[in-house]
Each structure stands twice: as C-alpha cells, then as structure tokens.
Chain A
Amino acid sequence: MATWDELQEALDDYTVSCNTNERLRKMQKDWTRILHFVCSDTAETFTMDVRSGEIISTGAGHVGVPDVVVTTDSETFCDMFWGDLNPMPKYLRGEIQVRGSQEDIMRIDAISYVIWPDA
C-alpha cells in the first residue's frame, strides 16, 4: 500500500515526464480532459487536469466533472506513474478499471507507451 507522499512523488515525476516529452505533447495536443483517480485500497482520490496534452495540475480529491475515472490500488498507480509498469496487461485482466471512452483509455495507455516504451 503506497502512502500519499509516495503517490505525490510519482505524480510529480509523471507530470515532468509528460510535459517535457515533445512527441507526446504533439500527439496529445488535441486532448483536453479531467481525469479522476481512485485508490481502491486506501480510498484516496486525486484529479489530473490535462489541457492540450499538458498536465496543468494534479491534486488530491475530485475536482470538476471527469472525462475519465481510473480505479486501481495505490501501488499500481505509483508504479504506473513512475513508468515501472505497463498498465495494459493489468487493464486487460480487470485490475485497472477505467470509465471513459475507448479513445481516452487508449490515450492514457499511449502516454505510458510513448514515455516508457520498454516498461
């Protein structure tokens, strides 16, 4: 079970990795979404605000009306945001649950794939 500090650190790193990757920014330039995250084991929640492919803010709690809701355990979130985990197999096994359009689900996985293709 990951602590909030660990999640926070992972989110900070993820934000930098996403926002400094030029190919990803170009790929996601038409992607503006509010993402809600739910840790199934700790009940912690947080929000990510993405505008034109740039992560504008990440914060605890749920803010705004989401386009996508991602639910999994806190350890998986940490590993995913650090790029140590390929989220697709866990999603296909139902261990990561996502609510949102297929296109958005694809985009979230694409972020991990573009930044960390060998994860």
Chain B
Amino acid sequence: MSELAPPSSEAEQPVIGDHHPHHLRRSVGVFTATATSAGLAFAAINFLGIVSVSTFALGSSAWLAILIGGLIALVVAGVFSELNSMWPTAAGVRLYISNAFGGRFALIATFTYMTTVVLVIAADAFLIGAAIQHVLNEPPALAYVWILVLLAIATALNLRGITMAGRVQSAVTYTVLAGTVVLSIVAIAKPGMPIESPFALFGNGALSGFQAIAFALFLFAAFEWVTTTAEEARTPRVITRGLFIAPMLIWFAATVFSLALDHLVPKDVAHGSAYPQLLLGAAALGRVGEIWMLGVTVLTAINTFNGGFLVASRFVYAAAREDNLPRPFARLNIRAVPWLAVVVLAVTSAVVGAVIFATGQWLLLVAVGAALEASVFAIASAALLKLRRTHTKPRSFRLRAAPVLAGGGTVLFAGLALASGFSDPADPTQFSAAPALVVICLGLVATAYVLIVVPRLRRAAAARRVAARASGERVKRRPERPTA
C-alpha cells in the first residue's frame, strides 16, 4: 500500500533551456545519440545507394553528389533539431506535422513514412541474405532461406523483449563505419582505375546530376529517427549534436567507399550486383576482404532490425491504443511486447523481401526510399515554417535563416523527391515512373485508410465503451467531487 507524505511544494521548471530539471538514472549522451542516428541511417541498402549515386554521376564525381547530399542533410538536421527542441518526444514527427497541418494529414504522412521502415527491413534482409549466399557460394535460391532465417531471429528477439543496450548499439555502429572506412582506404591505396572527371557531376545532364544528389540524400535517410530517443537524452542539445555529427560520419564513410568503388570495381559490375561491398572487399583484400565486408554487412542488420522493429512495432501499438488501428495490434505478450505488431511487421517484410528476390528490383527500392525520405524532409521543413508563425513555444535550438533554409529546403526536397521518383536506377539514361507510382500507391492506401477505416474504428471503439458503461461492465471509477 502507498505511504503518502505531505505534499511537496517543490516548484518544477519547464523544460525549455539547455538542461532538464531532472537527471535520469540512465540517459543518452552525445556519443550514443550520434551512434543511434548514424546506425539507423547506415544500413546495408546504403551500399546500393552509393552505387545508385555513382550510376547517375559522370565518371568519379559521385563524391561531389555525396558532399552536396551531406550539406543538405545538415539543413535537415537543423530543421529536426528545432522541431525536436519544441516537442522532444518519441511521437515527435507526428506531433510536428499534426500541430502544423492537422491530425489527419499527420496520420497519413506517418503511416506512409512507416512503410519505409518495412522497406528498409525487407531490403536489408534481402541484401544480407544475398551476401551470405554469395560468400558461402550457395545456390541463389538459398538467399531467400537466409532472409527468412534473419527475419525469424529478429522476430524472436523482439518477441522476447530483447533490445540492444545503448553501448552495444554504439559499438556496432562505430565498428560498421570504421570497418567500411578502413577497407575503403586499403582499396584506394591499391593500384586501380584512374580517377576520371571528378567534378563532372552534371556531365550526364543537369537532371542526371540532380538525381545523383537525390540518391546521395538517401544515404542519410532515417538519421533523423534519433529524435525518437529525445525523452532519454541527457539534455535537449544532445539530440541536436547527434543530428549534426552523424551526417558527417556517414558522409565520410560513404565518400571513401564511393572513391574506393570507383577505383577498383567497374561501374557496370557494381551496378549489376546486390552486394557491391563484397566486390570491393574481394578486389581490395581477396577472400579476407570479402569476409570483412560480409561481417560489416551483417552488423548493419543488428541496428536496422533492432531499431526498425522497435520503432515500427511501438508505432503500431500506439496507433492501436488510439483506435487508429484494430485493437488486436495493441495486444501484449507476457514480456510487454506488442506481439501481433511484431509478427505482422516480420511477415510483411518477408513478403516484400520475396518480391525483391523474385523480381531482382532492389534498385527500385532505393529509388522509392529516396523519394519517400525526400518527401518527409519537405513536409518537415514546411511544418517548421508554419510552426514558426503559429507557435511561440520556447525552444533550445533555432535554425538560423529558417525562411531561406527551411523554405528553400521545402522546394528542394520536393524537387529531389520528384527526381528520384521518376528515375530508373537500372538505366540512368531512361525515365521511369515506377518509384513515384509505388510512393503514390502507398500514400493513397494510407489516405484511404485514414479517411475511411479510421473513423469506423473510432466509432466502433466509442460504441463499445458506451455499451460497456450501459451494461455496468465498465463504469467511471473516479469518485464524483462533492458539490459545494
């Protein structure tokens, strides 16, 4: 039973400035926040992303596209830092969009956004499966068995409520980045193809250069998810620092990898492969390099599966608790894990992985991811502009020159979304509406769901509560206040 002392008169300070009034027993510092941000972004699909950048950039100019992509990512970091400093919560993205453009649009945007999690998990499962199958020299069909094995392991760990400690996650991320950088430097030191046209980013045409930048921005995709850990941060500025440092680490790793790839692996060979990192490893250090990069690839899965499953399943749980998804999605197992959300996520990823495996359209996934991410960045920038006008909420970080950076960013990100949405990563000389069509379909499904299904779910939930109260099964428990 509770033992209550007299009420405290301690006045609490609102969380506005650079410090929280309470120190948590366990909290996240800059080192871990940076690792979380970089780890969420640097997935196995990034190696294909770098190949896509290289496909659209003439000669050896991919590094320039990645540099521009990195600078744009810093603008995104500024936008999310200010938004996060206003609402430092795991529900952040939805809250920013909701406060700027309304709850319904926020729900549509976040449902669409969450599909990128499924795409990335599926893509990573496929890419790692293909890499393992290649290194073990197994028949191609076994790649799908590996996909299922990886997803089954991730599902089992999630259902048992096993999540990675921050330190382990940080160690994995920094190992992945260091492993990629070291092997790339070794590769660059070896004799190989000469660097050609390093500044001719737009040599294949202005559009092609713009598309290279769009794919370069995709290399940083999901780094902003670190805002979902804002509630654990030691101070609000921890997330801001993580948001600014992580893109620099990703930029460095992606740049040296891109230079190494251009140096040792012919473009057409890298372009036709689902595991260009293994080709680079083999070209640099033979079998040792191949296994080295396989290790790096498998390590990326730990972050992707840990972060992806956790973010997506908890989002589904919260949506079900709010009556925006059917109630069974909120069901918890004995380890307080929303088991149905985890299982459905795994099954959906396995199906998407099977489609990728059957069609070989892994580069389409990169284009879809790039278009979705740029769209989210556009919406977030527009939200910041709107919230600057409508909300005077105190914030510990303000983006300088926001009208220019966030305003220009909104237009730029929308343009980049279109550039990647109408690209054909398989053939950079051709247009393809396939990525845009996939994104539009996902958006339409989310819109139809929010406009048609959600109101029905909410009505049913309200009716259920009324019926429960009428039958006496569920009554208001709080005693009424005595009237004066």
Q: Do A and B bind each other?
A: yes
Which of B310, B321, B479 has most A Cβ within 10 Å? B321
Complex contact B10–A92 (CB within 8 A)? no
Complex contact A97–B12 (CB within 8 A)? no
CB of B387, distance to nearest CB on chain A (Å): 13
Q: With CB as the reference atom, state the residue of chain B lying closest to A44.
A: B7
Q: With CB as the reference atom, state the residue of chain B lying closest to A53.
A: B336
Complex contact A88–B322 (CB within 8 A)? yes
Complex contact A12–B1 (CB within 8 A)? yes
Interface string of A10-54 (1 = CB under 8 A from B): 111101100000010011100100101010100111100000000
Q: With CB as the reference atom, state the residue of chain B lying closest to A91.
A: B91
Q: A9-B479, A92-B318, A118-B468 are in contact. Are A102 and B330 (CB under 8 A)?
A: no
Complex contact B478–A27 (CB within 8 A)? no
Complex contact B464–A118 (CB within 8 A)? yes
Set of chain B residues within 8 Å of A38, measured between Cβ atoms:
12
Complex contact B1–A10 (CB within 8 A)? no
Q: A93-B95, A100-B24 are in contact. Are A28 and B336 (CB under 8 A)?
A: yes
Interface string of A69-95 (1 = CB under 8 A from B): 101000000110011101011011110
Q: A99-B231, A110-B336 are in contact. Are A16 and B90 (CB under 8 A)?
A: no
Interface string of A49-66 (1 = CB under 8 A from B): 000000101111110011
Set of chain A residues within 8 Å of B95, measured between Cβ atoms:
92-94
Set of chain A residues within 8 Å of B14, measured between Cβ atoms:
40
Q: A45-B10, A66-B25, A89-B322 are in contact. Are A106 and B317 (CB under 8 A)?
A: yes
A86 is contacted by which of B4, B12, B22, B321 (Cβ under 8 Å)? Answer: B321
Q: With CB as the reference atom, state the residue of chain A lying closest to B86.
A: A94
Complex contact B3–A65 (CB within 8 A)? no
Set of chain B residues within 8 Å of A114, measured between Cβ atoms:
332
Set of chain B residues within 8 Å of A69, measured between Cβ atoms:
22, 24
**Contact of B19 with A by CB under 8 A:** no
Complex contact A60–B465 (CB within 8 A)? no
How many residues on chain A are close to B (CB under 8 Å)?
65
Set of chain B residues within 8 Å of A65, measured between Cβ atoms:
23-25
**Contact of B429 with A by CB under 8 A:** no
Instruction: Report the separation of the CA atoms of residues A9 and B26 in the bound assembly, to the nearest whole angstrom.
Output: 31
Complex contact A67–B468 (CB within 8 A)? no
Set of chain A residues within 8 Å of B228, measured between Cβ atoms:
102
Interface string of B1-45 (1 = CB under 8 A from A): 111111111111011000010111110000000000000000000
Complex contact B10–A118 (CB within 8 A)? no
Set of chain B residues within 8 Å of A119, measured between Cβ atoms:
474
**Contact of B204 with A by CB under 8 A:** no
Q: With CB as the reference atom, state the residue of chain B lying closest to A75.
A: B478
Q: A65-B23, A67-B26 are in contact. Are A98 and B2 (CB under 8 A)?
A: no
Set of chain A residues within 8 Å of B163, measured between Cβ atoms:
103
Set of chain B residues within 8 Å of A94, measured between Cβ atoms:
87, 89, 91, 95
A: residues with CB less than 8 A from B are: 4, 6, 8-13, 15-16, 23, 26-28, 31, 34, 36, 38, 40, 43-46, 55, 57-62, 65-69, 71, 78-79, 82-84, 86, 88-89, 91-94, 97-103, 105-107, 109-110, 113-114, 116, 118-119
| Apart from A67-B25, A69-B22, 10 more pairs, CB < 8 Å | A9-B479, A12-B2, A27-B335, A59-B3, A61-B8, A62-B22, A65-B24, A88-B321, A101-B231, A106-B336
B: residues with CB less than 8 A from A are: 1-12, 14-15, 20, 22-26, 87, 89-91, 94-95, 98, 163, 228-229, 231-232, 310, 314, 317-318, 321-322, 330, 332, 334-336, 464-465, 468, 473-474, 476-479, 481
